[in-house]
Amino acid sequence: MTTHSSRVYGVLKNGTPVTEHTLRAPSGALLRAITYGGIVTAIHVPDREGRLADVVLGFDNLAAYETRHPYFGAITGRVAGRIPNGAFEAGGRVRQLELNDGQNHLHGGWCGLDRRVWEADVVPMDSGDALRLQYTSPAGEEGYPGEVRIEVVYEFTHAHEFVIRTRATTSESTPLSLTNHSYFHLGGDGHGTVLDHRVSIFADQAFPASADMTPSLDPEPVGGRCYDFRRPTLLADALPHLHRNHGDFYFFGKDRPAVPRRAALVEHGASGRRLEVFSSDTGLQFYTSSMMDCPLPGKSGRVYELYSGLCLECHGHPGASGIPAIGDILLHPGEVQTRETRYVFSAA
């Protein structure tokens, strides 16, 4: 059974204390997360020889997480991804959000959910202890309408599954599409780039990106295109052909399944580690960390270079407000939005 422990992680510049929570499996594998941004600071899983390594990027101190880092491990939203011009329509009105990425609204704005302190408690699950994080986003935060009550549960099972379940309600119609923004390196944090990882993404369609990386509203078949990852592809081979070496937003269909569907698989030959992704959401943003710009050293003491990790961000299309054909992300009063994503670690 997974067990829980906690400790004081640090104090923010404004004096707010931050707690670190550890979920430990019987094998010794573990997941650590802090109440600041719900950031996953560490995931230790075994390789084919049973040796544990930390497979997510990040820092070992709170001061670094308070800087403008690239969303390492954070709960991202209210809407993950880029909303063109920061505008959307709800209730017959055009709403304007904060512009924090040129002319776009990115990952919830200047002070999104990744920079909020979440309330935390422990909830019992069949696998043992799980961590529940809760935050109430007030109406008007970063321009979003409605007060939104959000619950995110992190579960780490004896089988080394990182399960994320979200639940949210709102007082007014608002877009809501959360994700976890962990950067994975299956060889271990600080062990160079992920160019030697093989990637599979089980989607038949993707949204081409514009010059400023906003996804189109019209999905295209991936067949015959550079972003076709339906068969295992070495990232080093695919990278030169991707738009800005970045990665694309993949579409699984407008309907959300009751049981999370298989979305992606990443394999690392040297360690034998595998990461399989399942999600009930409509899309997956694959990101190669081609825009990695982080001058601070990570947990290994090294500054992260380009392609130091890869992201598999499960969420809805950021521009899908009021567009059912691509998976409407508007949440309305009286509704309960629930999502589930599973990151399943194993070793071949």
Q: Where are the domains of the chain?
A: 3-347
Q: Span 189-210, mean pLDDT?
A: 96
- Rounded Cα gap, residues 62 and 59, in angstroms: 8
Of 310, 72, 344, 34, the C-alpha closest to 187 is 310
Q: In the numeric block, which tokens belong to residue 111?
A: 């002070």
Quote the pLDDT of residue 91.
Answer: 82
- Rounded Cα gap, residues 172 and 95, in angstroms: 13
Of 249, 340, 310, the C-alpha closest to 70 is 310
- Position 222 confidence tier, pLDDT thresholds 50, 70, 90: very high
Query: What whole-number percentage of the chain has pLDDT above 90?
Result: 97
Q: Which amino acid is at 312?
A: L
pLDDT digits (tens, 9 = 90+) for 86-106: 999 988 899 999 999 999 999
- Rounded Cα gap, residues 33 and 241, in angstroms: 35
Clarify whether 141 is annotated catalytic.
Answer: no
Catalytic residue chosen out of the listed positions 313, 315, 317, 340: 313
Domain 3-347 adopts which CATH fold? Beta-galactosidase; Chain A, domain 5 (2.70.98)
- Position 346 confidence tier, pLDDT thresholds 50, 70, 90: very high
Q: In the numeric block, which tokens belong to residue 82?
A: 């880029």
At 81 the three-state DSSP class reads coil
Clarify whether 313 is annotated catalytic.
Answer: yes
Whether 221 shows a pLDDT value over 90: the answer reads: yes
Of 150, 173, 236, 201, the C-alpha closest to 313 is 201
- Rounded Cα gap, residues 128 and 144, in angstroms: 36
- Rounded Cα gap, residues 183 and 194, in angstroms: 10
- Rounded Cα gap, residues 314 and 75, in angstroms: 11
Q: In the numeric block, which tokens belong to residue 83?
A: 């909303």
pLDDT digits (tens, 9 = 90+) for 45-102: 999 999 999 999 999 999 999 999 999 999 999 999 999 999 999 888 999 999 999 9
Catalytic residue chosen out of the listed positions 181, 191, 197, 315: 181
Q: In the numeric block, which tokens belong to residue 156?
A: 């780490």
Of 233, 231, 235, the C-alpha closest to 195 is 235
Whether 123 shows a pLDDT value over 90: the answer reads: yes
- Position 281 confidence tier, pLDDT thresholds 50, 70, 90: very high
- Please give the biggest Cα pair distance in the chain: 58
Query: What whole-number percentage of the chain has pLDDT above 70?
Result: 100
Positive or negative: CA dihedral 64, 141, 330, 248: negative
Whether 108 shows a pLDDT value over 90: the answer reads: yes
Quote the pLDDT of residue 198.
Answer: 98
Positive or negative: CA dihedral 57, 120, 107, 98: negative
Class of residue 258 by CB neighbours under 10 A (exposed 0-12, middle 13-18, buried 19+): exposed
pLDDT digits (tens, 9 = 90+) for 300-345: 999 999 999 999 999 999 999 999 999 999 999 999 999 999 999 9
Residue position matching structure tokens 């990232």:
235
At 200 the three-state DSSP class reads strand
Whether 249 shows a pLDDT value over 90: the answer reads: yes
Across the chain, what does the average pLDDT equal?
97
- Rounded Cα gap, residues 30 and 11, in angstroms: 24
Cβ partners under 8 Å of residue 237, min gap 6: none
- Rounded Cα gap, residues 143 and 279, in angstroms: 28
